[in-house]
Structure 1
Amino acid sequence: MFLSTSFALFFLGSLVNAQSSDNAIGIAAIEAHFTGAGLVPSLLTSFDPTALMTVTFSGVGAISPGQNLTKDQAAPTPEITIVPANSTVSLQGNYTLLMADADVVGTDESVGQTRHWLVNGVTLTGTNSSLNVSTANGVAVTDYAGPAPPEGSGPHRYVILLLPQPSTFSPPANLTQPNVGVSVFHLTDYISTSHLGAPVAGMYFDVEQGTATATLSPTSPVISSTLKPASSGTSTSSGSSPSGSSSSSNAAIAIRGGHSVFAVPAAVCVLFASYMCL
């Protein structure tokens, strides 16, 4: 009996460590993707997420970073879930959820971004293994509006971010009430002036209509062997392709692994542990 119980606990402990490691790989991968796609430091000075974001479109499923989608595929409002990087990350309170068009790689982001989605007062429901981003009780300043990049302008990068709202949160007067249409704003200025915290999670995808009529800036591919643990201790590696092309399956698996790859085995192992303790 003692040996069976000890083995079961050891097995579950190993599983938890493996899942934590997988989440760390996902954090490293998404950080590298944001840098490789030119979103850091062009759009965001830095990006140090403490959670993994999964964006799921109806008919498409969960996307990987930089995945190419058609205008129609990205038209419905996506479902957003996040998984904390590790057990020390506490995600509570209200958040702001937004999506902005960062245009093509090499764009001068100082001119602003087109706001496609902005909801304040977003809450997280569920357990730490998978938290649903709920907009039900939030203020939908700008309802989700699918991508519509100009024909021939190249692959536009659509960035989705989740940012914490502290007690000092105070958005500009023109972005406090619902039903504000899609328009240009300065994402970093909005974050700063509203006193939002740094993004806790993010994802991006590409949408292109027609063939680009101009030469676009190159991107940096995410290569597994070049990734190192982040300073927060929540990273190692996973590789995939640059922005403008679909990411590799390895990166997609790493980023969604916390609740896609390991969720079923965890449930099975709990049953196994119960059996071993009988």
Structure 2
Amino acid sequence: MFLFAATTVALSFLGPLVNAQSTNDTALGISAIEAHFTNAQLVPALLASFSPSALFTVTFSGVGAISPGQNLSVEQVAAAPELTIVPANSSVSLAGNYTLVMADADVVGTNESVGQTRHWLVNGVTLKNGTSSNSSSSSTPLNVSTTGGTAITDYAGPAPAEGSGPHRYVILLLPQPSSFSPPSNLSKPNVGVSVFNLDDYISSSHLGQPIAGMYFDVQQGTTNVTIPATSAVVSSTLKPATPASSTASSSASAAKQSGTKNAANRSENSLVAIPASLIILLASYIYL
């Protein structure tokens, strides 16, 4: 009886601790991908800015979940990956339709204004179980489902030219608002791989800014082409990202609730500071 009660008390402390840690890890992961996009010169060359509100996980068969800028072979990326995302926090609303795109941004230093090779483009993408599972208390990834969407360009595995250097392949998930209207040449299925301008496509289609992104490198053979060096991302220097809430709130309401929120934050911080070992020790003490 005493052991059961002690265990219940311990678990009540562990719940907020685990949830807070999970949210913090996601926020730190988002900060890391932002830094990687900048260090790889995808920002501002390909995207003027990049402030994701969800963490993308891209998993290739036989490889597993990849890391930003990971070097992969043509064979490893021949088949479409599985995609999941985790929202940064409970203020991020994930609902509606999205556009999924993968484009070849070529090597670092490329003039992106000339366009990119489109390897994947699907409109009407949905997040499986994602219309309501957006609470920071849940770290369960949401599946990015292309089933039921319109596959403008089916996934085509990267195959950069021999000796052309490490090409950067960027995968983005962008929200489709009610005003979404793709250009006529990219509005129907079965359009083959071809060059398009990603920035122009986003703006002309009235797509929102990417909520999640990832990229990887593929190179065939060696190259004598001089490619600008990029700096490495040092995770220890990063701070967790704090995406803006997708739900507007008034200043008056925020001021009214500030006292309650501050008290809640102090309580949560206190819980996070309690190691799990002490909680277990507490349970043992109560039992004895």
TM-score range, shorter chain: 0.7 to 0.9
Q: Which moved further from structure 2: 217-226 or 38-47?
A: 217-226
Give the structure 2 partner of residue 258 of structure 1: none
User: Partners in 2 of 1:72 and 1:112 — Cα distance?
Assistant: 25
Give the structure 1 partner of residue 91 of structure 2: 88
Alignment of 1:208 with 2:219, yes or no, is: yes
Q: Which moved further from structure 2: 224-233 or 167-176?
A: 224-233
Give the structure 1 partner of residue 10 of structure 2: 7
Q: Which has the higher helix share?
A: 2
Q: Which TM-score applies when normalising by structure 1?
A: 0.81
Give the structure 1 partner of residue 26 of structure 2: 23
Give secondary structure in 1 for the equivalent of 2:71. strand
Give the structure 2 partner of residue 193 of structure 1: 204
User: Partners in 1 of 2:176 and 2:166 — Cα distance?
Assistant: 31
User: Partners in 1 of 2:203 and 2:22 — Cα distance?
Assistant: 34
Give secondary structure in 2 for the equivalent of 1:81. strand
Q: Which amino acid aligns with 2:74?
A: K
Give the structure 1 partner of residue 78 of structure 2: 75
Q: Deviations over 1:1-40 (max 9, x none)?
A: 7655443221111110010111111011111111111101
Aligned residues: 234
User: Partners in 2 of 1:196 and 1:90 — Cα distance?
Assistant: 16
Alignment of 1:182 with 2:185, yes or no, is: no
Give secondary structure in 1 for the equivalent of 2:23. helix
- How much is the aligned-residue C-alpha RMSD, in angstroms? 1.6
- What does residue range 241-252 of structure 1 map to in structure 2 within 5 Å? none
Q: Structure 1 residues 118 and 233, CA, compared in 2 at 3 Å: closer, same or farther?
A: closer
Give the structure 2 partner of residue 64 of structure 1: 67
Q: Which amino acid aligns with 2:19?
A: V
- Say if 2:27 and 2:242, in contact at 8 Å, map to a contact too: no
Give the structure 1 partner of residue 264 of structure 2: none
Give the structure 2 partner of residue 107 of structure 1: 110
- What does residue range 29-68 of structure 1 map to in structure 2 within 5 Å? 29-68=32-71
Give secondary structure in 2 for the equivalent of 1:211. coil
User: Partners in 2 of 1:220 and 1:169 — Cα distance?
Assistant: 37
Q: Give the CA deviation at 1:171.
A: 0.4
Q: Structure 1 residues 231 and 62, CA, compared in 2 at 3 Å: closer, same or farther?
A: closer
Give secondary structure in 2 for the equivalent of 1:177. coil
Alignment of 1:161 with 2:164, yes or no, is: no
- Where structure 1 has 5 or more consecutive residues not aligned to the other structure, the ranges are 235-278
Give secondary structure in 1 for the equivalent of 2:119. strand
Q: Which amino acid aligns with 1:145?
A: A
User: Partners in 2 of 1:232 and 1:121 — Cα distance?
Assistant: 24
Q: Give the CA deviation at 1:228.
A: 3.2
Q: Structure 1 residues 58 and 4, CA, compared in 2 at 3 Å: closer, same or farther?
A: closer
Q: Which amino acid aligns with 1:226?
A: T
Alignment of 1:131 with 2:134, yes or no, is: no
User: Partners in 2 of 1:23 and 1:228 — Cα distance?
Assistant: 11
User: Partners in 2 of 1:230 and 1:88 — Cα distance?
Assistant: 13
Give the structure 1 partner of residue 276 of structure 2: none
Give the structure 2 partner of residue 152 of structure 1: 163
Q: Give the CA deviation at 1:225.
A: 3.6
Highest CA radius of gyration, 1 or 2? 2
Q: Deviations over 1:140-171 (max 9, x none)?
A: 00000000101101000000000000000000
Aligned-pair identity (%): 69
Give secondary structure in 2 for the equivalent of 1:119. strand
Give secondary structure in 1 for the equivalent of 2:33. helix
Q: Which TM-score applies when normalising by structure 2?
A: 0.78
Q: Deviations over 1:62-107 (max 9, x none)?
A: 1111010101111001111111111221100000000000000000
Give secondary structure in 2 for the equivalent of 1:214. coil
Alignment of 1:219 with 2:230, yes or no, is: yes
Give secondary structure in 2 for the equivalent of 1:133. strand
Q: Which moved further from structure 2: 118-127 or 5-14?
A: 5-14
Give secondary structure in 2 for the equivalent of 1:54. strand
